[in-house]
Amino acid sequence: MSNLNKIKSTLQQYDQAHILQFWDRLTEDERKSLLQDISEIDIEEVCSYFKRAVESLAEDQEKLDNRLKPIPPHLYGAVSRTSPALLSSYEETGLIQVSESKVGVLLMAGGQGTRLGSSKPKGMYDVGLPSHKSLYQIQAERIKRLTQLAQESTGKTGRITWLIMTSEHTMEPTLNFFRKHNFFGLNKDDVILFEQGLLPCFTFDGKIILDKQYKVSRAPDGNGGLYRALRDRKVLDEIERRGIKYLHAHSVDNILVKVADPVFIGYCVQKGADCAAKVVEKAFPSEALGVVCNVDGKYQVVEYSELTQKTAEMRNNDGRLMFSAGNICNHFFTLDFLKKIAYKHEKELKLHVAKKKIPYVDASGNLCIPEKPNGIKMEKFVFDVFSFSENLVVWEVNRDEEFSALKNADGAEKDTPTTARKDIYSLHEKYIIAAGGNFESTPAVCEISPLLSYAGEGLENIVKTKTFTSPLLLKADDESSIVLNGNSP
């Protein structure tokens, strides 16, 4: 019991002795479960997190206008302002890195589709395309097609390692989903799943909340938990072992995402960047997108609520918004930068606080469901590492080609399955028309398999001079041998 005495002492030191208040009435298995929970928590660290979090809550939200500067032009590239020759150069550089197996993809897939009305992991969601492919399948097939393009371009066969960060609740169903669908034609050794961490939930007065008499209430530590998870789950070691140098990180819910985009990779490599943000131009000053900018000489994402209307509306001489770099959770990192964050700066990352209604066990041991917020959940954001970058660059892409978020059920104003479908149809119609095809009427219901074309390439021989009726589904020749039905089980 000396170990128990040590635990009691630590808990008392940090005013958390209540965690053991039901010890005498617990079964042996319940005691083991509780001790396991406590062993997984660094009490000193999480209590210091709480203190920092409360301090940030106490601060009035400061408007940052006087401290802001936009990204300087030499670090701010854009597809729309880059010559075709230079775009080709970036793409060639990116394809070379893919062919040499130096590119990995970090997919942040911890979320469940709760707001979509689904209890399954969001990556398993089917938005209702003609193919009924899930988000996971669409992204897997883009990876597969990109490795083919790199091989065709360079003559070398490389591999892209797909590193998928799940949460406690999405790990098992995600793994089962991939197994059921034979990893969507990818080599299963190149698909690595790992779990993000959890942080205890606290009452407003600093007590760790109990979810059961023998269980601590914990919540995922946000997409910024990526860095700690990469370190603690030994994923950084595996990345290094595989010779991967460049990582493309993005969230699972962007149906238009160009996974491991060779143009973006090539731009970052040619610029010598250690960290980068892919952005879209803000549609209007008050759009609810954070903007990448410079604050007191350091780069960060400033939320739209941290800007006054006057600053948000400021424009350059060309008429574009001065603070226009809309953050879309789409990033580039070198392995060296990730190691620097994970081993040196992770504990310095900003803590973001959400006041929540958190079920709790009262003093009698009964589970209570609060009617109003009774505590806080703490999380970190993936982009809060920008300030540690020594050479951050920004790459602006066209929204209609690369950004369509899936967050809400149909009936909401934006970011729904219907808007995701429409955005795919619109982009794929554009690809077909650019390749010399046509439609009897537009807008068309039109889907092109990622196995046939990654970003509109290679369609001329299939569609040129032809007129199509809607709905249209174009598939690769060998697609029948690959899982076609991406429906959730």
Positions of E strands within 112-200: 161-166, 191-195, 198-200
Peptide bond into 471 cis (omega under 30): yes
The pTM assigned to this predicted structure is 0.92
Look up residue 192 and give its amino acid.
I
Compute the distance between CA of residue 409 and CA of residue 414 in angstroms, rounded to an integer.
9
Nearest CA to 250 among 163, 358, 126, 376? 163
pLDDT of amino acid 97: 98
Written as one string, the DSSP assignment of 311-339 is: HHT-B-TTSSBSS-EEEEEEEEEEHHHHH
The one-digit pLDDT tens for each residue of the chain (489 residues) are 458 899 999 999 999 999 999 999 999 999 999 999 999 999 999 999 999 888 877 665 667 778 899 999 999 999 999 999 999 999 999 999 999 999 999 999 988 888 898 889 999 999 999 999 999 999 999 999 999 999 999 999 999 999 999 998 899 999 999 999 999 999 999 999 999 999 999 999 999 999 999 999 999 999 999 999 999 999 999 999 999 999 999 999 999 999 999 999 999 999 999 999 999 999 999 998 999 999 999 999 998 888 889 999 999 998 999 999 999 999 999 999 999 999 999 989 989 888 899 999 999 999 999 999 999 999 999 999 999 999 999 999 999 999 999 999 999 999 999 999 999 999 999 999 999 999 999 999 999 999 999 999 999 999 999 999 999 999 998 785 443 333 322
- Is residue 98 a contact partner of residue 263, using CB atoms and an 8 Å limit? no
Residue type at position 433 = I
pLDDT at site 486: 31
Tokens (6 digits) for 17: 């002795």
Domain definitions of the chain by residue range: 62-406
Contact by Cβ (8 Å): 128, 166: no
Residue (of 439, 447, 407) closest to 423 by Cα position: 447
pLDDT tens digits along 25-36? 999 999 999 999
Phi/psi at 127 (nearest 5 deg)? -80, -5
Give the other-Cβ count within 10 Å of 52's Cβ. 14
Determine whether 301 is exposed, middle or buried from the number of CB atoms within 10 Å of its CB (0-12, 13-18, 19+).
Answer: buried
Helix (H) or strand (E) holding 212: strand 210-212
- State whether CATH 3.90.550.10 applies to domain 62-406: yes
Exposure on the CB side of residue 448, measured as CA atoms within 13 A:
28
CA 440 to chain CA mean position, Å: 38
Interior/surface letters 266-280, b for 16+ CB within 10 angstroms, e for the rest: bbbbebebbbbbbbb
Tell me if residue 177 falls in helix, strand or coil. Answer: helix
Q: Which amino acid is at 4?
A: L
Enter the tokens of residue 83: 């010559």
Residue 36's CB is within 10 A of a number of other CB atoms, namely 12
> Could you tell me if 119 and 489 are in contact, meaning their C-beta atoms sit under 8 angstroms apart?
no
| pLDDT computed for residue 62 by the predictor | 66
215 with 34: CB under 8 angstroms?
Answer: yes
Task: State the Cα–Cα distance between residues 147 and 480, nearest whole angstrom.
Answer: 20
For position 394, what pLDDT does the model report?
Answer: 98
Q: With contact defined as beta carbons under 8 Å apart, do 199 and 47 qualify?
A: no
The whole-number pLDDT of residue 488 equals 29
